[in-house]
Amino acid sequence: MYKPNLFKYYLREGLLFLCGLLIVGSSLAVSNGRIFAISQGQRKSLSKGIVLRKIEQDPVRIRNIKVGATDRRFDEEFDDSDDWLRKLSLEIENDWNKPIVYLLVSLDFPESKLSGNEMRFYVYLGNEPGSPPNRENIYIAPSEKLVINMAERYEWLSQFLQPRHSMGQINKVEIQVARAVFEDKTAWGGGEFFVQDPSKPGRYIPVRMQP
């Protein structure tokens, strides 16, 4: 009667199993390498979002953008590291005839729509007139500028995004001056002027004429 050599049988099966693991591991390595390369190779860009007006004529506008020491323009594509938002700085110019005492700048992340609602991060500066002060005051006189360095807010931004996205997945940002409040309690934002609601401080009513 034929008796199989169990040692040779298990040795052969073990070698076949190891070869299979090597093939699968190599495939995954190549696949992961490609995914990593695509993720790392995506170009960065800064956008003003969907704005139908000429923002160059806005009374409060983003005058200059830098990533590190390099000037950047809206809709320009460029290469940079995963922590490029740490190096982002915005120069806000007051081109109106009244001092700014409160500023709200929004950063939208369109890539976050892949995981749910679009994520929006706010940068708050100064205090709204009539509201309890909870931040350092600002005063941007007419024709003066203020620089926002995202390095000072990078940890907050990272914590805000990380439940859904790593910083390395963020390559596009839409930036706007959401609201600027002037010393006389009038405001501007999104292409409109506002006046403060006398019955509810902190609420603003749009007006057709320049206040």
Q: Where are the alpha helices (DSSP H) in the chain?
A: 6-41, 154-161
Which residues are within 8 A (CB) of 141 and not within 5 positions of it... i.e. 6 or more apart? 94, 99
Both 89 and 158 in one domain: the answer is yes
How many domains does the chain contain in total? 2
What is the reported pLDDT for 31? Answer: 33
Phi, psi dihedral angles at 28 (to 5 degrees):
-65, -40
Both 157 and 172 in one domain: the answer is yes
Mean pLDDT by 10 residues, the chain (211 residues): 51 55 41 32 81 80 96 94 96 97 97 95 94 93 98 97 95 95 94 88 80 68
What is the reported pLDDT for 198? Answer: 83
Place of tokens 């959401």: 178
Both 61 and 90 in one domain: the answer is yes
Q: CA triplet 147, 153, 154: central angle to 5 degrees?
A: 115
Both 29 and 112 in one domain: the answer is no
Range of the domain at 175: 43-207
Both 122 and 91 in one domain: the answer is yes
Both 35 and 136 in one domain: the answer is no
